[in-house]
Structure 1
Amino acid sequence: MSTPRLYLDQPLAEGREVSLPPGQAHYLGSVMRRAPGDAVLAFNGADGEWAARIASLRKDRGSLMPERQTRPQTTPRDVRLLVAALKREAMEWVVEKATELGVGSIQPVLTRRSVTDRVNLARLGLIAREAAEQSERLDLPRIAPALPLHAVLDGWDGAPLLVGAERAAAPPIARVVAGLPPDLVLSRAWLVGPEGGFERVELDDLRRRAFVSPVALGPRILRAETAAVAGLAILQALAGDWNES
């Protein structure tokens, strides 16, 4: 029987009992059929991962008692995903897979061809939390409110921003990443446009930004959600934590 793993937005320390939110108490008792004394793993994005025991559990109320730290907290690399706001199911899938791939933040952007003008942050946060619990991450990605593309670019911090340019002549993403200085590769971002791609005025604006590098993901046209995940996988394989033991 696998040990349930939960994200808790509370400090974790040996012998310090922590209360469970109603949803997680219900999950442990009614879904996982756990009882007081059973083992649980807990993390909060700051104190590492802890082996704990269920101290109390009744309907939607309960608490855990942390016993020992199983993994220390690590500092994740600054992998950022910027993606045009997609339809609900596609956006949720991207958030789930980006979380599994270790992305540090997700910024929905509004473009001229975006199919929606808002995202459900609460729902996306829940999906990210569940994906982090399942994938054994020690933290959660930050999910920002949707903003117009130009606003995100105007406030950018200058880190390298790779942009999927599927209909324009652009070098392969692997070649561009290999050419970045090592100190800049550690802080990188991946921008994916909407279905149908960016409009010309948006591409012109992107090309004028010194920190932007248009890149290609091969000879085929990819769906936005496919491009988002494919680009992140390439970044993690070439310059991310996939190279770490």
Structure 2
Amino acid sequence: MAEHPPFPSPKTRLYVDSPLAEGQAVGLDHERAHFLRHVLRLDKGDVVAVFNGRDGEWLAAIDGFGKGWCSLTVSAQRRPQQGEPDLWLLFAPIKRGRIDFIAEKASELGASRIWPVFTRRTDPNRVNTDRLRANAIEAAEQCERLTVPELSEPVPLDKALAGWPEERTLYLCAEAGHVRPIAEAMRARPRGPAAFLVGPEGGFQQSELDEICKLPFVVPVGLGPRILRADTAVVAALACWQALSGDWTAEDGDTRPPFRSPAV
């Protein structure tokens, strides 16, 4: 039997919204075309990897460039689509730069949904979701994940909680009060859909915190003896979840498989 030649190494990796299949043509916009041609100095025939969050990852060859465009032809599948952890992140928006960091690191750490929520102490009160999504896409391209997290439109926290699916545990990252260490709390819960809520700089109002803790799907957790900045708390919480319940779990040493959403 003849051996198939090895896949060529792609020059870069791009998220696209187009369907992906062998022979499929994919057009890139001005920004992506500029990046390939003028930043990476690629040319016709060079191979890139593309993914869309639905069809796995594919190799695609550059057909050519024009004024503000680039065309690709999809050739071979590099990886099939797989299920990923079903993990949401709700967080109170913080200042620009640090909020971009949250979107980037949440994408790298496998969050499936990123959802800014306005609490009573949230400052600022506006969120540039287009910029956050761009940061999440860039992080997904670089970290080799096969999806890009959903970026939900910001809403007041009470509105987000009003329609909450009760099968999804919401771990509330609280700085004080009756909280359990995060590892202890997570080991005590059955695996399933999960989310984290990280509050604003300065913390939640006490009355707001009391209301949240009364909800049956909320589990208050602590992230250690030190007071963490909001962006640090996001990274710490997501990393703990991945290590204990997500796709960092060593399946051969744990009889409970990592909880994953099904592949699209």
Give TM-score scaled by structure 1 length. Answer: 0.96
Deviation at 1:65, TM superposition (A): 0.7
Match of 1:179 in 2: 188
* Structure 2 residues not aligned, in runs of 5+: 1-8, 252-264
Which aligned segments of 4 or more residues in structure 1 are displaced greater than 4 angstroms? none
Deviation at 1:2, TM superposition (A): 6.4
SS of 1:241's equivalent in the other structure is coil
SS of 1:163's equivalent in the other structure is strand
The answer on whether the counterparts of 2:170 and 2:217 sit within 8 Å (CA) in structure 1 is yes
Give TM-score scaled by structure 2 length. Answer: 0.89
Match of 1:215 in 2: 221
SS of 2:106's equivalent in the other structure is helix
Matched, 1:163 2:150: no
Deviation at 1:59, TM superposition (A): 4.4
For 2:90 and 2:220, locate their aligned partners in 1 and report how far apart those are by CA, in whole Å: 14
* Structure 1 residues not aligned, in runs of 5+: none
The answer on whether the counterparts of 1:26 and 1:59 sit within 8 Å (CA) in structure 2 is no
Matched, 1:127 2:135: yes
Backbone CA RMSD of aligned residues: 1.3
The answer on whether the counterparts of 2:10 and 2:59 sit within 8 Å (CA) in structure 1 is no
Deviation at 1:87, TM superposition (A): 1.1
SS of 1:23's equivalent in the other structure is helix
SS of 1:162's equivalent in the other structure is strand
For 1:30 and 1:104, locate their aligned partners in 2 and report how far apart those are by CA, in whole Å: 32
> More helix per residue: 1 or 2?
1
For 1:234 and 1:82, locate their aligned partners in 2 and report how far apart those are by CA, in whole Å: 16
Deviation at 1:113, TM superposition (A): 1.0
Match of 1:6 in 2: 14
For 1:64 and 1:205, locate their aligned partners in 2 and report how far apart those are by CA, in whole Å: 52
For 1:220 and 1:169, locate their aligned partners in 2 and report how far apart those are by CA, in whole Å: 16
Match of 1:73 in 2: 81
Map 1:66-215; keep pairs closer than 5 Å: 66-158=74-166, 159-181=168-190, 185-215=191-221
The answer on whether the counterparts of 1:163 and 1:212 sit within 8 Å (CA) in structure 2 is yes
Partner amino acid for 2:40?
Answer: M
For 1:210 and 1:119, locate their aligned partners in 2 and report how far apart those are by CA, in whole Å: 29
Over the matched positions of the two proteins, sequence identity in percent amounts to: 48
Partner amino acid for 2:170?
Answer: L
SS of 1:205's equivalent in the other structure is helix
